[in-house]
Amino acid sequence: MKRHLSIILIFISTLFAQSLTVDECVRIALENKMSLKRAEQDVKIARLDRASTGAIMLPSINASNSFNETTYGNNSVPASERYSGGLSLSQSLFNFGGNVQQLKLSDNNYNTTKEQKRQAKARIILDVYTYYYQYLKNSELFNIAGKDLELSKKQLDLVQNQYKLGAVSRTDFLKASVRYGTAKSSFLSRELNKKNSEKSLRHSMGLLNSATPINISEQMDFTLIIPSFDQAYNLMTANSPDLNILDYQIVSSKLRVKQAWSSSMPKVTMSVGMNASSGDQLTRGYFDDNYIKNVNIGISIPIFSGLRNKNNIKISKLRLDQAETRFKGGTNNAKVNLYALINTLNNYKEIIPIQEEVLLSAEEDLNLAQQKYELGSASILELLDAQLALLQASSSLVRTKYDAAIQVANLDNLLGTLDKKYQ
């Protein structure tokens, strides 16, 4: 899987029948998660609001029509009838950009909600990646613990038989017993961790209360390709929904400053209208001379508002300062997190080959210790130490491998590239 200027995590996967890949788990989560559905609804609302706001630039047209009938006592014949109707048009001609700022605000809000949707989507994806890799890690640790328990049981049986024959001391028998008990305890603990991580994965997929079985049997090998800090930083500032949202907040605050200022300025409006009335029939008032036409151009000049307009301008400027402070703080935090993630992954890249070599050595050492013990040239303690070393080496490699995979997902999320794979 290749990503532009991002970390490439190349998977060599062996999938068993009906197993779920991480991509399949993500797509299930995106279909089920209510948080994403709410974000999608927010985008639709913002889109409609933007369309509605665009109408403020158009004239307002209103029509009216009424009929009034008056009768007296029990007289069935009306004493009077009156028809009236009218048509009016009003238009804002000039308000120092107030309408323009409102249009820009609604458009900026729409862009913000789109980034918030991306943010919600990325969080869902990151959760799935995290719990998916944790499940794989705990599954492999569980398998390692199972093999260690099996080996410990064989060694205990061997030592026990030798102890009955008087070939080994009680001390050796007790050491083997302790080692087996420790292995069994570790096995049960890792079994619990595997079950808990599966539950967490189900929750991240929106399947916590579902009876749908989850079968994940993916074996992973991967290569880390890590960008430079400058490459990653440029990608982050261009794509991160978190930073984009903070940037849009600054834009909104600047527009509100202009909007507050325009509210304190004069406004020019125009209205055109026609009213007609008739005492006999509806058509008479419209087609005779019994109607009124009017054209009005008015100027509204704020004189005194109890300092409301002045204070609104001050408040909007303070909120602009807050937005700029949040952006600087968010950018700095993102930069620190980016630096830490890249350093962590570079560290993993150096550690993994070393741990692989240690694992090979531990496997060879255990085989030699087993042969020596069977020949009587090694003690039970040497054999148990070799077994423990293999357990530690294999477990350490598994932890590092999947922790690195999780950090890759965190980096892609920080760079704003994690959600783009699932368009």
**Which of 399, 404, 397, 393 is closest to 348 using CA atoms?**
404
First to last CA, the chain: 15
**CB distance 346 to 226 below 8 Å:** yes
Give the C-alpha separation, 218 to 63, whole Å: 69
Q: How confident is the model at residue 348 (pLDDT cuts 50, 70, 90)?
A: very high
For residue 3, pLDDT over 70 is answered with: no
> Which of 344, 356, 335 lies closest to 409, judged by CA?
344
- Confidence at 378, pLDDT banded by 50, 70, 90: confident
pLDDT value at residue 421: 86
Q: Which of 146-155, 234-243, 264-273, 282-291 shows the lowest per-residue confidence on average (mean pLDDT)?
A: 282-291
CA distance 220 to 352: 14
In angstroms, rounded to a whole number, what is the distance separating the alpha carbons of residues 312 and 263? 9
The tens digit of pLDDT for each residue in 177-197 reads 999 999 999 999 999 999 999
Contact call for residues 242 and 330 (beta carbons, < 8 A): yes
- Lowest-confidence segment of 130-144, 227-241, 265-279 by average pLDDT: 265-279
List of domains in the chain: 8-32+95-213+227-265+302-422 (1.20.1600.10)
Closest CA to 88 of 300, 296, 283: 296
Sign of CA dihedral 240, 119, 50, 324: negative
In sequence order, which residues have a C-beta less than 8 Å from that of residue 89 and are 6 or more positions away? 59, 60, 61, 62, 271, 272, 273
pLDDT band at 133 (very low <50, low <70, confident <90, very high): very high
pLDDT of residue 1: 39
Its pTM surpasses 0.85: no
Residue 355 confidence (pLDDT) = 96
> Which tokens in the block code for residue 226?
């890590």
Q: How many helices (DSSP H) and strands (DSSP E) are in the chain?
A: 9, 6
